[in-house]
Amino acid sequence: MKPLLKIPMAKHLMYEFALWTGLDPAQEVPRRYLWTDAFAVCNFLGLHKATGDERYQSLALGLIDQVHHVLGRHRTDDERKGWISGLGESEGEHHPTQGGLRIGKDINERKPTEPYDEVLEWERDGQYFHYLTKWMHALHCAHLVTGQRRFSEWAVELAKTAYANFTRVSAATGEKSLHWKMSIDLSYPLVPSMGQHDPLDGMVTFRVLRAGLRKEADLPEAFNLDNEIAGMADLCEGRKWITDDALGLGGLLCDAFRLAQLHLHRDFDGEDLLKTLLKDAGFGFRYYARNNHLDASLDYRLAFRELGLAIGLRALERLEDLIDHNLDRFHNKHDLQGSIHELGQYRPLGDVIESFWLNPRSREADTWKDHRDINTAMLATSLVPDGYLSIF
């Protein structure tokens, strides 16, 4: 799509999203889903920055409020009521993320006495660590655009809650890891295994939050994330990040761009990790390209996973520009440029993916309609990615 047409198309997609999900006009029971809404908040903020139209900022702030009042509270079909943190009504309003945030799945969580069903678990509610980090990022972006510190304070409270409740230490080996999925009230794990990129996403996101608040005066010690950052860095030590999953590859490139931005602003000397991410992404892309995933039948293609890759490739474009314009700030500039040049051969995939899902025929498929909200939000992110990708 021509650059001049991308903003109008993103506007159209996000207005449709707002209508379908009960954001605007506001419905009494809106349909909220944490991952999708994190991208949507960033999209609205990005459109506000790109156009100067205050309506988009209002939509972003309205969405944040809806998420906190829907996903920060117990489900309507749950006997428990109120904030999932257990805070009273007034205190919960001031600390809406202190108990974490629900995923927003259709089916209630599995009780501790119920047997585990791997297929059904995907449809059940609870809390995902990697969804919480996405929401932290969205709140950071809201602080960035509005200048209102409360958004980053809520993000830090969420970070501390997530770290404290998802981190586990094996009694047998002493090894630290993260639960992938926890119960709504964070009292027991629903899926104890660790997501491959969760430690990386957590470490980078926590550093972004710390950088965003570092310039603030009179910041209470309660908002210090040094301990959580050190813990996540330990979990990242020595790990490989290679994946041929489209969404995972896109996430690696987004994290690489965030690391480079942190490095440039002297908030993290992350060149070694940046080199590792780009190298591992290169391995992953070779696997991905070899399997010809984009040639699969429409019935087997998931738009949001492919669009995650497209967003990552937008991050790669910006990473290349950032390094090229700040070569004196990167000691390993030649290695970084070499890795980026190698990855550059895959950049056209972003346009291929975007064009395919912009085709109305593609969006008539059940695979699009079954995940319409998340697909719509992430397609808009691919079109106008700076609201999501820029952290300063």
Contact 225, 240 (CB under 8 A): no
Read off the pLDDT of residues 237-248 as tens digits, 9 standing for 90 and up.
999 999 999 999
* 239: number of Cβ within 10 Å: 13
> Does 3 reside within a domain?
no
Q: Looking at residue 171, what is its pLDDT? A: 86
Of 211, 239, 267, the residue that ends a domain is 239
Residue 70 pLDDT greater than 90, yes or no = yes
How many folded domains does the chain comprise?
Answer: 2
161 and 257 inside one domain? no
Single-letter amino acid code for the residue at 367: T
Q: Which pLDDT belongs to residue 2?
A: 83
Owning domain of residue 145? 13-239
Q: Are residues 226 and 348 in the same domain?
A: no
Domain final residue, candidates 186, 209, 239? 239
Confidence category of residue 72, pLDDT binned at 50, 70, 90: very high
* The two three-digit tokens of residue 314, written as one number: 């937008």
The number of beta carbons lying within 10 Å of the beta carbon of residue 74 is 17
Residue 217 has pLDDT above 80, yes or no: no
Confidence of residue 227 (pLDDT cuts 50, 70, 90): very high
The answer to whether residues 264 and 211 belong to one domain is no
Lowest mean pLDDT among 99-113, 216-230, 238-252, 309-323: 216-230
Q: At residue 133, what is the residue type?
A: T
Q: How far apart are CA 214 and CA 129, in angstroms?
A: 24
Rounded Cα distance between 160 and 206, Å, is 9
Give the alpha-carbon dihedral of 317, 323, 325, 326, to 10 degrees: 160
Residues 31 and 55 in one domain: yes
Q: Among 239, 259, 283, identify where a domain stops.
A: 239
Main-chain dihedrals φ then ψ at residue 73, nearest 5 degrees: -120, 165
